[in-house]
Structure 1
Amino acid sequence: MKNLLTRRYTLPLFCLLCSLAVLAVCSRSSPLYATNDWVDANIYFTIGRGMHQGLMPYRDLLDHKGPLLYLLHWAAAAVSSTSFFGVWLLEVIAGWAFLYASARTLLLYCGRGWTFFSLPLLAACVYASPAFAQGDSAEEFCLPLLAIALYFFLACFGPGKQLPSFWVFAVNGAAAGAIFWIKFTLLGLHFAWMACFAFLIWIGHRSLGRALAACGAFLGGMVVISVPILLPYAVSGALPDLFQTYFGANLTSYATTPTHWSTPLYNLVMSGLSTALNNPVWAVLALLGGVFFVFRRGLLHPAAKAALLALAFFSGFFIWAGSMGWPYYGFPLSVYAVLGFACLGLLAQKLPARLPRGVVQIGFVPALALSLALCLAFSPNVSFMELKKEDLVQTKFAAIIQQEDGQTLLNYGFLDGGFYLSSGITPSCRFFCRINLPNYQELEAPVRQMVEEGYFDFIVTREEGPLPSMEEHYELVCTEYQTYDGVLLPYSLFRRKA
């Protein structure tokens, strides 16, 4: 068993196994679930499916997340355009990358036995937490990129360690560029990461030129990853739509203007506390590990201790400075949970009584079993495995639409409920569902006009009766009740009058 654990391919394969097992249980995109009914996930996937029909995000289908997130869902739709299976595969890949980067971090301080034992438990702590939401969030796909940055920070910023080479700055710049085009408010860790290394080189090593060169390599990595993402928008003339929505809408409409200089700090404290209370396991691990690394001698260079605090502070500050946000906003902070496992591993080495070597070597077997048991017991999504696809309102409405050969559909007045996916219909208007922007009524004006003119074959609302603009051209087919996010809601299907 010892020889098996030391082989080069064993660790990445074990990370993949942990990712597959844990995300099969914890993500509603998994084949174990009838569907992922989270409105955010359905928006991303509807846009990804629409891209296969030649539609461009922002210009043809309006939402305000980053273009790389839609590109990922374009790839998922290429695997399966009728289910979330492709999305789940992307989640598994992201989970593998997160666990492998975390494993490399653990190996800096702990043996391979402890690393193998910790990985499945780390996966359960992170992915079974409420902050994970239903799966398929922007934060989830950024998590491995943050874990890579944390690994390089600890690998290169410890006592006696050499400064990273320029390729390390370029790689982390590329990771930062990917985050920038998924959700730029998650860039806090990379901002502090590069700033800390730049100051160390400039002040500690008295080399301003090398510090500037490192920053240049970092920015070069961002540029390299940005060019292929932006090129399709430039070719199709959709860059103005991208910039106006992704930056303009998010910076001016989505975020709230601070009423006092202390508002961002208030948001940080209150949202951080709420996130910790709702996700106590990985929050305690992150806090325990952070305190241990700061106060334990010999683990980090003295300057690196302050740098680690800066990484944690700016990670949260970038997320919550503009608004207190949603419960899943704090999910990226789970990247620091690996510090807690490293702390426990180092403390275990100081115990006077040691476990037999054979027990340590096979510890990953019960750890993986315990991990799955924890996921089944604590993941907020597990209860939804009981739902059958044929019982979903999405499936029932899709059957009616397909029976009557409906060609156009509108998800009207609420976020994407998964009806485009279930019916197989591609949206035929830019404002294909409501989005979380304060000026949504202004953005919705063109589609309201289309409803008043009877443009769509079918309309789905989350209301019991018809909206005033629908009464002239649409009649109620049926109303079904279904629970979403703990609330029983009415979904109504309308068809255009003959």
Structure 2
Amino acid sequence: MQLVVLAVAGLVLRWSTFGDPNLAADEGFYHAVGLAMHHGALPYVDVWDRKPLGLFLIYWAIAGITPDPLAYQLAAWACAVATAAVIGAIARRWTGPQGALLAGLVYLVWLTPLYGFGGQSPVFYNLPVAAAALLLCQGLPQVARGERSGRVALAMLLAGAAITVKTTVLFEALFFGLAALAAAWRSRRPVAWVALRGLGWLALGLAPTAAIALGYAALGHWPEYWHAMVGANLAKGTDWGGTAIRLILLWRLLLPLILATAGGLMLQGPRGRGFVEGWLIAALFGLAAVPNFYPHYALPLLVVLCLAAAPLLDRGWIGLVAAAAMIALGLRAEPPFRPGQADRSRAAFAALSAAIRAHDGGRPLLVYAGPAQLYGMTGHAFPTPLAFETHLSQQAERNVSHLDTVAELRRVLAARPGAVVLPVQVRNGPAIPETWALVNTYVRQHCRPVARRHVEDWLLADDLVVWGDCHEPTVSGAR
């Protein structure tokens, strides 16, 4: 019954997003990459990003069913509901059904303020992490008695799989491994037995990432893979002023959850509290490891915050009031109900796609600082691995990939794209002045504006101009 309630709540909360091709830049790009992989594109080689391969494999699998964005949005809904149910299942180990259900409901509501309204990567990988935690809670007593536990082994494998979707899961996976090792130590079995169990769990956790790395090495693309996973993350600078401001805003946003977590931990007895506290610390390390502090970076933290609050939410009318307050504050922070927005997005993208197809002259498309999903929607391949909207345009991304950013754009423009999509203003600034100047010079010398549309996603808005007929002389005026 609880699963039915969570499923219906998830549908209501996400209804406005279904079918929207432009929920947010990140997931639009992931979806575009998933589609491109079905046409032979290899991540990090033909299309570049820092995200691990597991994320793109998720979108590849979903795009294999249908290219409609509704498919990944329904998959995200299913993962969100399943994660909420797993949070409730863990909470039931030390609370009643009220606390378990309300913890899951709070998770679903607070996904939206933290930008988890669609297919952001944590919406998918929170499920295997939460499932690993549940399996550990079930299997650690066996290990502490000196028995083998398939549940703990599966937990390590799930945590390892989650690392291939987001590298920062490593901190939670390490905590899970240490918790299992501590239970093995308490068994008083010989040290060799404990060491063998620990090495086996470590191997299971590393196996998914190792398989991907070996695959890229076998294909001869180890340098691109290594740079994307390691070198690029070290090369990108940090705007510490902006980071500090975002951190303050994030903690202000999370304050209701933090207060509920504190209350829940005080009410929780010794059973399970150490595990929850350790998991919370590990999740905080994961948040701090990539100090960007945009709201969606806190989505992994949301799982354990809701779980930790469950004892408070289980306290009769006090729990009901606390849950009502948390739900109301979550709905107020970012209302999930936006009637008509998906229809407006579909209409805008249909108009942009029609203009591109009518005016590209059968030649390549370049989308500069705009939605990457336009490539797949118009049947165009990526003209460059730097297809995400910031990778050619944002100063912070300059030369972060294995490619020289300005030289790469010169190469693309030398191939004379037949249509170019440009925003009136780059929203993720400051822009790279050389690439902005290059692309504007190209369209004004070789193309004409053929369409202009105001495009909104759930966070920001753009005015996009399609420059087409790029083999023709410039003609002023837009249709």
TM over 0.5: yes
Q: Structure 2 matches for 1:430-441, cutoff 5 A?
A: 430-433=385-388, 434-435=390-391, 438-440=396-398
Amino acid paired to 1:50 = A
Contact residue 29 and residue 136 of structure 1 kept, 8 A: no
Shift of 1:146: 2.3
Q: String of CA shifts for 1:334-374, please: whole Å, max 9, x gaps.
A: 112123123432x34999xxxxxxxxxxx9xxxx9999999
Written as runs of structure 1 = structure 2, the 5 A alignment for 1:245-260 is: 245-250=228-233, 252-254=234-236, 256=238
What do the CA deviations read for 1:165-206 (whole angstroms, capped 9, x no partner)?
Answer: 442332122122112211111222221221233245337737
Say whether 1:69 aligns with 2:43: no
Alignment partner of 1:426 is 2:387: no
Q: Larger deviation: 380-389 or 72-81?
A: 380-389
Q: Which amino acid aligns with 2:253?
A: N
Whole-Å Cα distance in 1 between the matches of residues 187 and 249 of structure 2? Answer: 38
Residue of structure 1 aligned with 2:252, choices 277, 282, 291 = 277
Q: Is the 8 A contact 2:135 2:154 kept in 1?
A: no
Q: Deviation digits for residues 136-160 of structure 1, max 9, x if unmatched?
A: 1112212112212332454456899
Quote the offset at 1:396 in angstroms.
Answer: 1.4
| Paired AA for residue 393 in structure 1 | A
Match of 2:311 in 1: 342
Change beyond 3 A, Cα 1:205–1:168 = same
Mapped pair 1:118 → 2:102: yes
2:251 and 2:380 map into 1 onto residues whose CA distance is 41
Distance 1:233 1:174 in 2: 21
Q: Give the aligned partner of residue 475 of structure 2.
A: none
Find the counterpart in structure 2 of residue 397 from structure 1. Answer: 352
Three-state SS of the structure 2 residue aligned to 1:438 is: helix
**Equivalent residues of 1:20, 1:92 under 8 A apart:** no
**1:36 is aligned to 2:22:** yes
1:303-343 Cα shifts (integer Å, max 9, x gaps): x62x5433212211232134233221011111121231234
Distance 1:369 1:489 in 2: 36
CA contact (8 A) 1:48 1:74 kept: yes
Match of 1:100 in 2: 85
Counterparts in 2 of 1:21 and 1:311: CA distance versus 1, 3 Å: closer
State the Cα distance separating 1:72 from its structure 2 match: 0.5
Partners of 1:406 and 1:458 within 8 A in 2: no
Please give the secondary structure, in 2, of the residue aligned with 1:88.
helix
For residue 88 of structure 1, report the CA deviation from its aligned partner: 1.6
Partner amino acid, structure 1, of 2:41: L
Which residues of 2 match residues 302-451 of structure 1 at below 5 A?
305=274, 308-336=276-304, 337-345=306-314, 347-348=315-316, 379-383=334-338, 385-389=340-344, 392-404=347-359, 406-412=362-368, 414=369, 416-433=371-388, 434-435=390-391, 438-440=396-398, 443-451=404-412
> Which digits, 9 at most, give the CA deviation of each residue in 1:60-88, with x for residues without a partner?
0111101000000101111221x212212
SS of structure 2 residue aligned to 1:410:
strand
Decide whether the 8 Å contact of 1:131 with 1:328 is kept in 2.
yes
CA distance in 1, matches of 2:78, 2:212: 20
**Do the aligned partners of residues 105 and 391 (structure 1) sit closer, same or farther apart at CA in structure 2, a change above 3 Å counting?**
closer
Is the 8 Å Cα contact of residues 352 and 453 (structure 2) preserved in structure 1?
no
Counterpart secondary structure, 2:453: strand
Higher mean alpha-carbon deviation, 467-476 vs 170-179, is at: 467-476
Corresponding residue for 2:271? 299
Q: How far is the alpha carbon of 1:238 from its aligned partner?
A: 2.8
**Residue 22 (1) aligns with residue 13 (2):** no
Moved more, 172-181 or 273-282: 273-282
Partner residue of 1:481?
454
Q: Are 2:27 and 1:53 aligned? A: no
- 1:208 aligned residue: 191
RMSD: 3.9
Instruction: Name the CA distance, whole Å, in 2 between partners of 1:379 and 1:350.
Output: 25
Distance, in Å, in 1 between the alignment partners of 2:277 and 2:246 is 18
Distance across 1 between alignment mates of 2:350 and 2:318 = 57
Q: Structure 2 CA distance, aligned partners of 1:170 and 1:44?
A: 30
Deviation digits for residues 210-236 of structure 1 (CA, Å, limit 9, x no counterpart):
332232222232244346645653453
Letter in 2 for 1:409: L
Are 2:420 and 1:459 equivalent residues in the alignment?
Answer: yes
Structure 2 SS opposite 1:479: strand
Taking the aligned partners of 2:4 and 2:106, their CA distance within structure 1 comes to: 13
Structure 2 distance, partners of 1:437, 1:164, is: 55
1:497 corresponds to: 471
Determine which of 162, 178, 181 is the counterpart of 1:179: 162
**Equivalent position SS for 1:430:** coil
Q: For the structure 1 residues 317 and 350, does the alpha-carbon distance in structure 2 shift closer, same or farther, using more than 3 Å as the test?
A: closer
Taking structure 1 as the reference length, the TM-score comes to 0.77
Matching residue's letter, 1:30: F
Give the letter aligned to residue 121 of structure 1.
L
- Taking the aligned partners of 1:20 and 1:456, their CA distance within structure 2 comes to 46
- Give secondary structure in 2 for the equivalent of 1:108: coil
Q: CA deviation at 1:425?
A: 2.6
Contact 1:27–1:135 (CA under 8 A) maintained in structure 2:
no
Equivalent residues of 1:22, 1:375 under 8 A apart: no
Distance 1:375 1:271, change over 3 A: closer
Compared CA separation, residues 163 and 399, structure 1 to 2 (3 A): farther
How far apart in 2 are the matches of 1:223 and 1:489? 41
Q: Structure 1 residues 227, 196: CA separation in 2 closer, same or farther (over 3 Å shift)?
A: closer
Give CA deviations for 1:450-479 in whole Å, capped at 9, x if unaligned. Answer: 344252111111126961344333322233
Contact 1:198 1:215 in 2 (8 A): yes
What is the alpha-carbon distance in structure 1 between the residues aligned to residue 58 and residue 39 of structure 2?
A: 16
1:286 Cα offset (Å): 2.9
Per-residue CA shift, 1:393-435, capped at 9, x if unaligned? 32211111223464521111x2535322432433232222333
Contact 2:88/2:104 (8 A) holds in 1: no
Distance 1:164 1:327, change over 3 A: farther
Within 5 Å, which residues of 2 pair with 1:126-141? 126-128=110-112, 130-141=113-124
Distance 2:441 2:54 in 1: 38
Report which stretch shifted further, 487-496 or 157-166: 157-166
Q: Which residue of 2 aligns with 1:357?
A: none
Task: List alignment gaps of at least 5 residues for structure 2.
Answer: 426-435, 473-479
